[in-house]
Structure 1
Amino acid sequence: MPSITFPLPSPEHVDVPMSDGATLSVLRYAAPGGGPAPAVVVMTPYRKEALMHAELLQVPIREGYEVLIADVRGIGGSSGPYHGILAPREVEDGVELLAWAARQPFCDGRTALIGGSYSGLNQLLIAARRPESLRCIAPWIAPIDFYRDMWKRGGIPSHTAWGARAFLASQRAETRRRGLENFYGEILGEDFDTGLFHRSNPDLSAIEVPALFLGGWYDYFLRGTVRGFQQVTCPKRLVVGPWSHDPFLSDEQRDELAGWLNHWLRGEGPDPSAEGANVRLSCVGTDGWETRGDFPEAGNIPWFRWRPVDAEHPVPIAPALSATPMPPPSNVDPMVDLVTESGMRMWGETTVFELPAAEAPARLLGPVGLRAVVRADGCEDFDAHARLSVVRPDGQVLPITEGRLRASHRAVDDHRSARDEAGGIVVPWHAHTHADPVEPGVPVTLHVEIYPVHLRLAEGDRLRVGLTLVRADESAAPAQAVLLPGTTVSLPAGPDE
């Protein structure tokens, strides 16, 4: 639930002209005191008046900034033809909106971008254009890869209800038609990572302004949060807490955002991007936080390799996700799961493997790798879903993280995949450029990318990997697979383990 700490002031409505004749509908929350102040800007496809934005907006409003929130073109009060989700014209609108804000008497010429999810990727795309007035950005629970993070995780259509929620309520027939066509006909209708997706991927190397990456261990876009932080070369900070894909901020998130804005827009407080202390991570299984100078790269992690099978192990291939068992309870709010299709509660485990109970406390920090060697019969393609959980001594199961991969998309780019010290792939980069059908009776090797963890195991805790295979071909008949020796789970040992 929202935790708005004070009533928001009444905003002023402004229509901002774009160079192609469209106008962006903007709500302006004026800074107190009357003098010019930096402008903090949000661009949203979710209607600028929605309650979900109040939690975020209260931070810069409370800190005394000019605050502007705009509907993206073709949505809400903004006019102009809708060109598609995060299309280049929408990015250009963002650049023009910042330039307009910087010229206004209420602004001192400095601007910042904030926002989560869609509005986080939007920031990265705009920042890569290097707007003159922009001083910092704060992408929160944000993706960086239009294909791998947003719509086709592991080559599997993801987040599929988003288009209906975003566009069916539109009052503009043209936006409704174009939005649904773009999402369901083009984005979900395209199997492979083509130029359609590339156009909405930010050039992270072009971003020069400081970037605050805020994410959650249970968030749908955790992969993008961590990779975005690792790939930018600008001043940067990474904060990952016990959060999911939720529009409501915790006290820690509000404090981080306020400190970030105040430093880069006013020069207040210590540098939050200072080398050696610009990563702050909560630890699942404790109430503690750790401050570090990096997020571990695969080549620098001491890996523990778990081989869950030493003989052929039968695994059923379910006809659909709905045919799998009930999933274990999750730390993630059920509504967040259902809205985002995050995977933590969308499927049950048909096969599980557990390590022996921990004899002493242990810590995991980094990505998790799964190399599954599978032989399938009676099925040309299937989706592999993997979940890492902790089983407490009392039997409680705590889901931690998950990953997925369509078997026909198993081809990896050797040069872009991250490897351990022995040269084995632990964080795969799947090409997603073609399909390799599964041949009956022929083993295939699946490198499943599982999201990172920071986890403390207590004495007596057990790690569990749950695996579910689901048909991805035209048949709905049950099928059977076998998990073969050579299957390996790579677990990232913490630096003090």
Structure 2
Amino acid sequence: AERDSVHHPYIAGHGYACVRVDLRGTGDSEGVLKDEYLEQEQTDAEDVLAWLADQPWCDGTTGMMGISWGAFAALQVAARQPESLRAIVIASFTDDRYADDMHYMGGALLSDNLAEAGTMFAYGTMPPDPAVVGDRWRDMWHERMEGTRPWVIEWLRHQRRDDYWRHASVCEDYRAVRCPVLASSGWADGYSNAVTRLLGNLDVPRKGLIGPWSHKFPHLGEPGPAIGYLQEVVRWWDHWLKGVDNGAMEGPMLRTWMQDSVPPSTSYEERPGRWVGEPSWPSPHITPVRRRLTRHGLSGPLPDAEASAETAPATGPGEGLSVQSPLSVGQFGGKWASYN
């Protein structure tokens, strides 16, 4: 709510009605939140969009925006093609719930799988606000406490890619998304890969933005520099919801912050670099080159794309390398999306 209090007034000031909806079982909505991205959540979202489109202050067109879960939801609902939804704006998201989320990475269990389950167990058992829901608040609270369980139980039951993870993974059918998409993320976020996947696989008007940020909206971006993201959002809405010819689709398909090399650190306030643009993705400016690992480096380019490591020319021994060990515990072990 605090975050939305920043960007909703700005967008509303440009002629849009902004609605923030509590998921079923959270905040002041009734029911129990039993897991993420369930069919119930998506049909609820469709009902909300249909209600909005039918209001006298709405012209019948709607858009969705969000970060993290809110972005997941917007992309997943877009794939269901509700009638009124004309465009989405998403930040820090993924199209692949199994291979590119907080649960499993390369088939390995992430510690975030446990941490997120604990966080959501706490949120899922919080009471609604009596000032909003009235005397029902205690019964609603008890329903939540009695009906909620740690989601990690279900997540650990599905350690391989199965129908549980395929549900709501848009990568299963990119063709289902039929509305324009403005997608962003950051190099310090866990979800930067999804932006280029969408650009390369969607067949709708689309734009991508990747900055130096962590799990943040670009106008609140950390590490810096942040950008005037809300201006970009309003231009996107003006073009796709109001039909304004404002050049929203002009310029590169992908804009990204090319980071300069800096000494390794666990955190940064700023990342030096420069903005670059690509007209399409995959980029016409990138040529893949295959090399093989040698004892202390890389070989020269392989003679052709089909060359095997066995037939590749070897290089000299190169310079020796110093490796600090062990690298498997504590800070050395690394963490998925450590800026979250």
Normalising by structure 2, we get a TM-score of 0.72
Paired residue type of 1:289? W
Instruction: Measure the CA separation in 1 of the matches of 2:196 and 2:42.
Output: 23
Is it true that 1:164 corresponds to 2:118 in the alignment?
yes
* Larger mean Cα displacement after TM superposition, 142-151 or 293-302: 293-302
* Larger mean Cα displacement after TM superposition, 261-270 or 99-108: 261-270
Instruction: Measure the CA separation in 2 of the matches of 1:290 and 1:129.
Output: 33
Listed one character per residue, the Cα deviations across residues 219-255 of structure 1 (whole Å, up to 9, x for unaligned) are: 1111222212222111100111111112535333222
Instruction: Measure the CA separation in 1 of the matches of 2:190 and 2:259.
Output: 17
Q: 1:282 aligns with which of 241, 257, 272?
A: 257
Structure number having the greater helix percentage: 2
Secondary structure, aligned partner of 2:159: coil
Instruction: Measure the CA separation in 2 of the matches of 1:114 and 1:66.
Output: 13
Instruction: Measure the CA separation in 2 of the matches of 1:61 and 1:290.
Output: 31
Is it true that 1:235 corresponds to 2:205 in the alignment?
yes
| Structure 2 equivalent of residue 52 of structure 1 | 3
Q: Do the aligned residues in 1 keep the contact of 2:61 with 2:86 (CA within 8 Å)?
A: yes
Listed one character per residue, the Cα deviations across residues 422-473 of structure 1 (whole Å, up to 9, x for unaligned) are: 1589xxxxxxxxxxxxxxxxxxxxxxxxxxxxxxxxxxxxxx99997759xx
Structure number having the greater strand percentage: 1
| Structure 1 equivalent of residue 305 of structure 2 | 422
| Structure 2 equivalent of residue 107 of structure 1 | 58
Is it true that 1:225 corresponds to 2:195 in the alignment?
yes
RMSD: 3.1
Q: Do the aligned residues in 2 keep the contact of 1:299 with 1:421 (CA within 8 Å)?
A: no
Is it true that 1:196 corresponds to 2:171 in the alignment?
no
Instruction: Measure the CA separation in 1 of the matches of 2:157 and 2:178.
Output: 35
| Structure 2 equivalent of residue 343 of structure 1 | none
Q: Do the aligned residues in 2 keep the contact of 1:135 with 1:265 (CA within 8 Å)?
A: yes
307 and 80 in structure 1: CA distance in 2 versus 1, 3 angstrom threshold: same
Instruction: Measure the CA separation in 2 of the matches of 1:283 and 1:121.
Output: 26
User: How far apart are residue 162 of structure 1 and its match?
Assistant: 1.4
Secondary structure, aligned partner of 2:70: helix
User: How far apart are residue 121 of structure 1 and its match?
Assistant: 1.1
Normalising by structure 1, we get a TM-score of 0.50
User: How far apart are residue 283 of structure 1 and its match?
Assistant: 1.0
Instruction: Measure the CA separation in 1 of the matches of 2:327 and 2:55.
Output: 56
Is it true that 1:301 corresponds to 2:287 in the alignment?
yes
Unpaired stretches in structure 2, ≥5 consecutive residues: 127-140, 261-271, 309-321, 330-340
| Structure 1 equivalent of residue 337 of structure 2 | none
Unpaired stretches in structure 1, ≥5 consecutive residues: 1-49, 311-352, 356-419, 426-463, 472-497
User: How far apart are residue 185 of structure 1 and its match?
Assistant: 0.2
Paired residue type of 2:163? G
Q: Do the aligned residues in 1 keep the contact of 2:186 with 2:215 (CA within 8 Å)?
A: yes
| Structure 2 equivalent of residue 438 of structure 1 | none
User: How far apart are residue 273 of structure 1 and its match?
Assistant: 3.1
468 and 72 in structure 1: CA distance in 2 versus 1, 3 angstrom threshold: farther
Instruction: Measure the CA separation in 1 of the matches of 2:67 and 2:307.
Output: 34
- Number of residue pairs matched? 275
Instruction: Measure the CA separation in 1 of the matches of 2:323 and 2:211.
Output: 23
Is it true that 1:68 corresponds to 2:22 in the alignment?
no
Listed one character per residue, the Cα deviations across residues 73-111 of structure 1 (whole Å, up to 9, x for unaligned) are: 111111134342110110111111100000011111110
